[in-house]
Amino acid sequence: MGTFAQINPIWLYGPYSPLAVSSASQPDWYMGFLEGALRMMPPWEIDFLGHTLSMSVLIPAVVPIGIIFAGLGFWPWFEAWATGDRSSHHVNDRPRGRPVRSATGMAAIVFYGVLWAEGANDVISDNLQIPLYTVTWIARVLIFAGPAVAFYVTRRVCLGLQRRDAEDLTHGFETGVIRQLPSGEFVEERRPVPDEAAAVLAARKEVPALPAAGATDANGVRAPAGSGVTGWLRARANAAFTETVASAPNGHAADKAAETAEAQANGHGKDSPALASDAPAQPANPDRRAAEP
């Protein structure tokens, strides 16, 4: 291109001056998040042994890229440790089937997006007519609040989608057809979920619940992995991963499970103690009955 086009005609620009900078000069897109971290960082400096350590440059250069890439490498190990699932996986999970994983990914995207957008804070300020320092302070707040809000909202959305899948499997799809019963009641007609769609909705491997921190087995022996601070942290992480909505394979399973749970709660279940009316009658005073001829 240099043969046919004029590139960088410095003789037209004159000598270099640091003040002659064109407006809205932006970094390359892949460096935007580091530029944004540099722009939002407060002017912190540390004087140590007569040397000045500029934290306003060191932290933006190390912390954001460390969180992003260290998190990518740390997450597979952390999820396997928290869930106890170390088996091979060859089929992708649906995002709604893993609420914590999806929420963490969305929080990371928001974290990166805030840094990337702050890299163009001068362009945002100019086009939206907002003071530059206002944009910077908004980014300083969003870098902490944004990922937290994104995590909470995404997790609740995933759980809500799981509940809708369970409702579709139990009662069928909504058809939008409203019918009036002889009693005058209006009900919506539902159709059973096709087998192919039901296989997709029910194809979710449940995360096994690990024993609680400090729990013991039938012999009173405490699991080594469940003791101490590490065991408590693992139990808390596993409780977050196991918070999910169980999907019923058909319309009768959920109703049967609800009936069984209600019966056991009332003392009428199969594994519950026998009722007093079902137990053989006992004399009011066994000693007196034994004494009678």
pLDDT tens profile 107-140: 999 999 999 999 988 889 988 999 999 999 999 9
pLDDT at 202 exceeding the cut of 90: no
Q: Which of 257, 188, 210, 190 is nearest to 80 (CA)?
A: 210
Please give the Cα distance from 258 to 264 (Å, whole number). 10
Assign 179 to helix, strand or coil. strand
pLDDT at 279 exceeding the cut of 80: no
Assign 218 to helix, strand or coil. coil
Of 103-107, 152-156, 181-185, least confident by mean pLDDT is: 181-185
Q: What is this structure's pTM?
A: 0.70
pLDDT at 263 exceeding the cut of 80: no
pLDDT category at 217 given cuts 50, 70, 90 is: low
Give the pLDDT confidence score for residue 114 in this predicted structure: 96
Give the pLDDT confidence score for residue 291 in this predicted structure: 43
Averaged pLDDT of the chain:
79
High-pLDDT (> 70) share of the chain, %: 76
Half-sphere exposure of residue 286: CA atoms within 13 angstroms, side-chain side: 2
pLDDT tens profile 17-38: 766 666 666 778 888 899 999 9
Listed in sequence order, the residues at least 6 apart from 188 whose beta carbon sits closer than 8 Å to its beta carbon are 174, 175, 176, 177, 178, 179
Please give the Cα distance from 201 to 173 (Å, whole number). 12
Listed in sequence order, the residues at least 6 apart from 180 whose beta carbon sits closer than 8 Å to its beta carbon are 186
Could you tell me if 205 and 92 are in contact, meaning their C-beta atoms sit under 8 angstroms apart? no
Give the pLDDT confidence score for residue 198 in this predicted structure: 85
Could you tell me if 191 and 168 are in contact, meaning their C-beta atoms sit under 8 angstroms apart? no
Residue with tokens 């699932």: 85
| Beta bridge partners of residue 186, listed in sequence order | 180
Please give the Cα distance from 13 to 271 (Å, whole number). 89
Give the pLDDT confidence score for residue 266 in this predicted structure: 45
Please give the Cα distance from 108 to 68 (Å, whole number). 7
Give the pLDDT confidence score for residue 257 in this predicted structure: 41
| Beta bridge partners of residue 179, listed in sequence order | 187
| Beta bridge partners of residue 36, listed in sequence order | none
Give the pLDDT confidence score for residue 271 in this predicted structure: 43
pLDDT at 43 exceeding the cut of 50: yes
pLDDT at 253 exceeding the cut of 70: no
Give the pLDDT confidence score for residue 20 in this predicted structure: 64
- Show me where the domains of the chain are located: 25-87+96-171+204-214+223-258
